[in-house]
Amino acid sequence: MPFFPEKPSDGAVEHTTADAPLRPHRCFADVDDLAAETFARAIRRETRESHARARVLLLGFDEGDLADLRSHLRQAGVKTTATVSNVHRLPEFANMQQAFSHVLINLDAYDTVAHGVNALLAFRAIAPGFVVILCSAEVSADDFGSERSAICEATLRRPVSAAALQQCLVLGITKAKIAQS
């Protein structure tokens, strides 16, 4: 009795022994497609939920940047934002983790990068639960790596693109979940 009951349509030789290499059956392609679609739906749902849960504080941006950032956040489905123009007020928000999940900070609003880095190190020491995203016109490109993890989850080049901002929202929530576990 043949191992595969039907003749292969791809011209392959029909295997007749149990020790012959297994050939994937046509139904496995359907299962793989279904699994991939299910995974993609779960990712899209998690993305929408992450954006809806995000509560964003925008710190140190001028009106031009704020208009673009608010528009990008609305497009992403973020419902709650607040703005503060003075970056030196950052420490006041350390105990407001219930009010905000993400803090987008304009690093260029500090007198020097060193002042900004020192302020962020101090902030992270007293408020480690925030997702901190830095924005600067001085960086060469968006950076989602871990090189700056002591001060932020990601760095975005200004002007900030909608796609990069949405990626940061999800990345920040994901990193926060990993840190909590």
Closest by CA position to 134, among listed 147, 125, 143 = 143
- The end-to-end CA distance of the chain, in Å, is 53
CATH number at residue 84: 3.40.50.2300
Nearest alpha-carbon partner for 135 in 163, 162, 154: 154
Q: How many domains does the chain have?
A: 1
* Identity of residue 11: G
* Inside any domain, residue 29: no
Q: Which domain holds residue 68?
A: 55-180
Q: Which pLDDT does position 60 carry in this prediction?
A: 96
150 in a structural domain = yes
Per-residue confidence (pLDDT) for residue 89, from 0 to 100: 94
- 89, part of any domain: yes
Is residue 18, in this structure, part of any structural domain at all? no
- The answer to whether position 83 is within a domain reads yes
- Specify if 44 maps to a domain: no
Angle at 154 between CA 125 and CA 118, to 5 degrees: 35
User: Which pLDDT score is estimated for 4?
Assistant: 47
Which positions of the chain have pLDDT values less than 70?
1-53, 172-173, 175-181
Predicted confidence at residue 128, as pLDDT, reads: 87
Residue 166 lies in a domain: yes
